[in-house]
Every structure is written in structure tokens, then in C-alpha cells.
Structure 1
Amino acid sequence: MYSNIAVLCVSRDKSAALVFFRKAFRSNYLLEKIVIDKSSSNTAALDDLNAEISENYRITVLQIKYLNNIRPAAK
């Protein structure tokens, strides 16, 4: 299991998403995996970021269509 996972599901345009991700990674650290909803702007921004960084540090992007409908599993 990955220890560095961010969950994002925000409606925004590509440029705003790119600013958000750059600021988040600058103030924290670069993540291995990001889970987002089917927002095309978030996907486009993360594709641009992956193009800028080396292949060893690429971010794995997982998309879940109904991310806001997922409930935690019962213990």
C-alpha cells in the first residue's frame, strides 16, 4: 500500500488546477499516487506536470468517476 496518497475532487479549470498542484507539491512533497474524480482539468494539469518531471518521479493518476460517493469500509 502506498503511504503518500492525496484525494482530490474539485471542479476547476486547467490553469487553476496546475497552480494548485504546483503550490501543493512545493509546500509539501511530490506524491507517488493521486486519486481524482473524472475532472478533465485535473487530469490535464497532472499530465502537464508529469511531462515536466523525470520519468523516475512520475505521478500515478487514478480516476474514480463517483469519488464523492465512496464510503469507508466498516471495521
Structure 2
Amino acid sequence: MPCTRCAITTMDPETGARHPDSEPLKTLRSYRLMEGEKMRKVMGTSPRMGLQMSLRSASGGTITLNDPIYVA
């Protein structure tokens, strides 16, 4: 499913204060909003950043270096 950017990016890590103009989310919203009315109802006004994925395997499985991984 689509992954959106959270409001924590608007906070200064040194002080914990939020950016007064909600940057960088304000700028990201100008070109990274979810497309389509149905998706915006579900995801709100948070800018889209990528995709959430998870591993579907038997419990206790392990991924190691050079293992083939397939995405469908």
C-alpha cells in the first residue's frame, strides 16, 4: 500500500519545535499528494513517499545476503 510522510519531518531535531510553515510537508504536498478522490479519502493530505511492503514467508524465516527476493 502507499506510504505517506508523517509530521515528524516538520520538527527541528535539536529543539523539538515544529517548523512554523509545516515544511517540508507543505512543499511535498504541492506535488506528492495521492491521486484520485478515493485514495485521498483514505490517506488524507499527507504526501506520498513510497510503498509499504512486508515479507510473506513462514514464521521464523531468515533472509541472508544474496538470497533472491521477488516482488509481485
Same fold, TM exceeding 0.5?
Answer: no
Give the structure with higher Rg (CA).
2
Greater helix content: 1
Task: Give the structure-1-normalised TM-score.
Answer: 0.28
Task: Give the structure-2-normalised TM-score.
Answer: 0.29
Greater strand content: 1
